[in-house]
């Protein structure tokens, strides 16, 4: 096994995943839908910036609009919107650091210490892949697979997995010996931190939780 440097802010790149089809929003580009005066993905990017050394955006439409935020924009290298793993792969290919931290564009309230805690978990378990996990409404700990800290050495296995027609993050992650990092401490508010905004109605409701820009 190749030597891995412990993840830290200086050797971790952040990737905002905004390349989906937005099916449950009627096919719109979800990341660009307005939330309290700003595009939804903008919140994820701004929340991610202080936690990593540099940022990227995974997108497949309106690339110029995302690029206007001053970060590189990566389109999938695979056709037909194969899902978040294609974004992972594009991010790993472009990542200038040893580690990649991914977050979805539709969770604007994710933890401000996400990178720090995933990194600590990776170091503790000497793991090349860590997924956030949070308790659901029934207090059952559930993986949050698009919140992932990934070592760049996993890129070949991910490319092979996608080439076989597979798309499920959980399956690929399990094969890499993924470790779960629980966000269940007092004060974590996991139901809010990891909530996904999937519909326009949810977007409108969540807009009341943020001040207008």
Q: What is the DSSP letter of 49?
A: G
Q: Is 92 annotated as a binding residue?
A: no
Calculate the alpha carbon distances from 140 to 116, 127, 133, 135, 161 in Å. 23, 23, 10, 5, 29
Q: Is 44 annotated as a binding residue?
A: no
Q: Is 136 annotated as a binding residue?
A: no
Q: Specify the residue for token string 């076989």.
A: 164
Q: Is 76 annotated as a binding residue?
A: yes
Q: Is 19 annotated as a binding residue?
A: yes
Phi, psi of 24 (to 5 degrees): -75, -5
Q: Is 188 annotated as a binding residue?
A: no
Q: What angle do CA 143, 53, 144 make, to 5 degrees?
A: 5
Q: Specify the residue for token string 């202080």.
A: 50
A 10 A CB-CB count for 50 gives: 10
DSSP string, 51-115: GSSEEEEEESS-HHHHHTTSS-EE--SSSS---HHHHHHHHHHH-SSSEEEEEETT-TT--TTHH
Binding annotation for GTP: 17-19, 30, 76, 106
Binding annotation: 17-19, 30, 76, 106
Binding annotation for Mg(2+): 106
């Amino acid at each position: 096994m190749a030597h891995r440097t412990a993840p830290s802010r200086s050797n971790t790149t952040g990737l905002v995943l905004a390349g989906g089809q937005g099916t449950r929003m009627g096919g719109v580009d979800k990341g660009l839908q307005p939330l309290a005066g700003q595009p939804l993905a903008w919140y994820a990017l701004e929340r991610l910036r202080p936690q990593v050394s540099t940022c990227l955006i995974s997108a497949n439409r309106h690339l110029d609009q995302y690029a206007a935020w001053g970060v590189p924009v990566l389109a999938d290298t695979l056709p037909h919107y194969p899902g978040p793993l294609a974004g992972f792969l594009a991010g790993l290919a472009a990542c200038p650091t040893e580690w990649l931290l991914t977050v979805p564009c539709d969770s604007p309230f994710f933890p401000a210490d996400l990178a720090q805690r995933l990194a600590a978990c990776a170091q503790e378990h000497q793991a090349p892949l860590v997924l956030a996990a949070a308790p659901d409404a029934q207090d059952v700990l559930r993986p949050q697979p698009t919140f992932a800290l990934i070592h760049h050495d996993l890129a070949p296995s991910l490319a092979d997995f996608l080439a076989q027609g597979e798309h499920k993050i959980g399956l690929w992650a399990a094969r890499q010996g993924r470790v779960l990092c629980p966000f269940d401490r007092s004060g974590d508010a996991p139901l809010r931190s990891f909530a996904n905004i999937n519909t326009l109605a949810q977007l409108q409701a969540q807009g009341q939780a943020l001040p207008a820009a």
